[in-house]
Amino acid sequence: MRRRFLETSMAVACPFCGEVDEVPIDEGGGATQTYIEDCPTCCKPRSVHFDAREDEPHMYLDRES
């Protein structure tokens, strides 16, 4: 049985400018996801890491080199 996420997005801080914004969760992307997207505030590329294999989904961002 496929587990559905309760959230459609998560609030996280940009590793460059510190601005907190909502990053959408792609339910079709699986329980673990890693992708690159630009910050909507400072426009710098950041790596988005999402993991929903545990009881509580977890998302964090880090600087894309």
pLDDT at 5: 52
Neighbours of 39 (CB within 10 A): 19
50-60 mean pLDDT: 88
Least-confidence region, from 3-7, 11-15, 53-57? 3-7
Provide the sign of the torsion angle of the four alpha carbons 25, 59, 3, 8, taken in this order: negative
Residue 56 pLDDT greater than 90, yes or no: no
Which residues neighbour 13 within 8 Å (Cβ) at sequence distance 6 or greater?
Answer: 19, 20, 61
Residue 12 pLDDT greater than 70, yes or no: yes
Question: Is residue 41 a contact partner of residue 57, using CB atoms and an 8 Å limit?
Answer: no
Neighbours of 48 (CB within 10 A): 20
pTM of the model: 0.80
